[in-house]
């Protein structure tokens, strides 16, 4: 217990805010390019500014940013709906023990993250917050940082799940040829999910994580220092006043319910017309979340009150996402990521290449915390080297996915919505997410070596 307390205090002292981390990583990216980039120093100064600004305002990535914010906001609104809150309450009421609650939150967050990382992140955060409110109301000591880490644990499995950027993209017909721009001969038209997400290696690794991580979090919650926390529960109850005229629309449960049903009918039609799981993209997820949120809230007034609470949790992304786009632009156009990937590939063998890919993906994710952006940069090198060495494409892709999702436990960017919902600081959860990272790293490396 004494060690855990000192460990937590150390990170409280050393770890700045996520925004400060984004600025420090931006500065480090400039310095790395000035040292290792091609050309004279004057040319590198000019190029670095251009590359950074080009990435900062990259239009497709800004669209992606809005999509991610909507996933988080709409998912949070849905989680605040009365039926969902009742479900979370009943789930957490199975036990009053903080350690067992922590294990329950970890287990369900991991399951949900396998299907959709955005929903898992929001629901994990809401469950952590609700558990903390329950303990606070009872005057019970607990460790809020461990609860927050449990709610964030789903980011350990997201890229190996059905919302993982790389497995989704490579399953699209023609994507591999487009990614390599025709420079790699003999690539298949696409790589099926049976070779990536639903491969025996990934399903086995995911199952081991689903068993081991809740157990780990249970014992961490047992050993971590506990204290009393003062938290007030969110209250979205509608007032009982009488409404007249058009304002009745906002407070009528039938209007929101009707619109929600109509939106969900549109979603069901999209599923029926789609070829396989091609419908599963950010736009479809957001439309579905909007329909479900309207359906479960019923009253627009309740929906809008939940929106006021939810928008705060995504506010950090609005400012920090462009900063990481700038880092991505600088490292991609400046050639730093390609050089790093090629360095690992050039020194790789059939045995070591999945391991080099795993480690390089983990390093790059610290600077570019976007699975899709990372695949766009690393993908061509991974595919070409895998082809040359005769390594299954699916295994090489999952090696990158494992490295990417592992260092999410170190890089607090995606924790921003959770921090907003829970009111925690990043330095309170990182000591425990690093333990998740350590155990997950051992599991991923074992499967990459022995499968």
At 437 the pLDDT is 95
Determine the pLDDT at residue 232: 66
User: Residue 194 and residue 409: Cα distance in Å, rounded?
Assistant: 27
- The per-residue pLDDT for 418 is 86
Distance CA 328, CA 336 (A): 10
**Is residue 142 helix, strand or coil?**
strand
Q: How far, in Å, CA of 172 to CA of 192, rounded?
A: 9
Given its phi and psi angles, is residue 182 left (phi above 0), alpha (psi -120 to 50 degrees) or beta? left
pLDDT at 244: 58
> Phi and psi of 131, rounded to 5°?
-60, -40
| The predicted structure's pLDDT at residue 9 | 66
Low-confidence ranges of the chain (pLDDT < 50): 1
pLDDT at position 439 is: 96
| Domain ranges for the chain | 2-228+247-252+299-450
In DSSP terms, 142 is beta-bridged to 227
pLDDT at 97: 93
The pLDDT of residue 315: 76
> What is the per-residue pLDDT for 277?
65
CA distance 147 to 126: 11
């Amino acid at each position: 217990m004494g060690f855990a307390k000192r460990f937590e205090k150390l990170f409280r002292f050393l770890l700045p805010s996520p925004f400060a981390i984004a600025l420090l990583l931006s500065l480090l990216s400039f310095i790395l390019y000035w040292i290792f980039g091609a050309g004279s120093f004057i040319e590198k100064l000019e190029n670095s500014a251009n590359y950074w600004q080009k990435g900062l305002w990259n239009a497709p990535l800004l669209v992606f940013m809005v999509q991610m914010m909507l996933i988080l906001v709409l998912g949070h609104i849905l989680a605040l709906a009365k039926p969902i809150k009742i479900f979370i309450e009943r789930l957490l009421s199975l036990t009053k023990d903080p350690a067992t609650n922590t294990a329950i939150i970890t287990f369900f967050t991991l399951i949900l993250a396998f299907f959709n990382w955005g929903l898992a992140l929001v629901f994990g955060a809401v469950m952590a917050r609700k558990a903390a409110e329950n303990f606070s109301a009872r005057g019970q000591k607990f460790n809020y940082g461990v609860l927050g880490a449990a709610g964030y644990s789903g980011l350990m499995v997201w890229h190996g799940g059905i919302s993982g950027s790389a497995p989704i993209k490579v399953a699209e017909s023609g994507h591999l040829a487009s990614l390599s721009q025709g420079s790699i001969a003999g690539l298949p038209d696409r790589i099926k999910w049976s070779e990536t997400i639903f491969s025996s290696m990934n399903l086995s690794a995911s199952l081991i994580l689903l068993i081991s991580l809740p157990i780990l979090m249970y014992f961490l919650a047992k050993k971590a220092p506990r204290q009393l926390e003062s938290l007030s529960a969110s209250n979205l109850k509608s007032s009982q006043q009488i409404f007249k005229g058009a304002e009745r629309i906002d407070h009528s449960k039938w209007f929101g319910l009707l619109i929600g049903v109509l939106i969900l009918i549109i979603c069901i039609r999209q599923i029926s017309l789609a070829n396989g799981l091609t419908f599963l993209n950010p736009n479809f997820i957001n439309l579905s979340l909007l329909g479900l949120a309207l359906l479960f809230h019923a009253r627009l007034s309740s929906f809008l009150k939940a929106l006021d609470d939810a928008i705060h949790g995504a506010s950090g992304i609005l400012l920090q996402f462009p900063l990481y786009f700038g880092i991505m632009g600088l490292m991609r156009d400046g050639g730093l990521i390609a050089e790093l990937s090629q360095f690992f590939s050039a020194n790789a063998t059939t045995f070591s290449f999945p391991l080099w890919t795993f480690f390089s993906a983990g390093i790059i994710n610290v600077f570019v915390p976007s699975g899709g952006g990372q695949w766009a940069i690393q993908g061509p090198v991974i595919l070409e080297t895998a082809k040359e060495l005769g390594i299954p494409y699916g295994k090489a892709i999952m090696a990158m996915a494992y490295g990417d999702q592992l260092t999410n436990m170190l890089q607090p960017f995606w924790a921003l919505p959770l921090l907003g919902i829970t009111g925690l600081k990043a330095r309170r959860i990182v000591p425990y997410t690093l333990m998740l990272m350590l155990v997950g790293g051992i599991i991923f490396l074992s499967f990459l070596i022995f499968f």
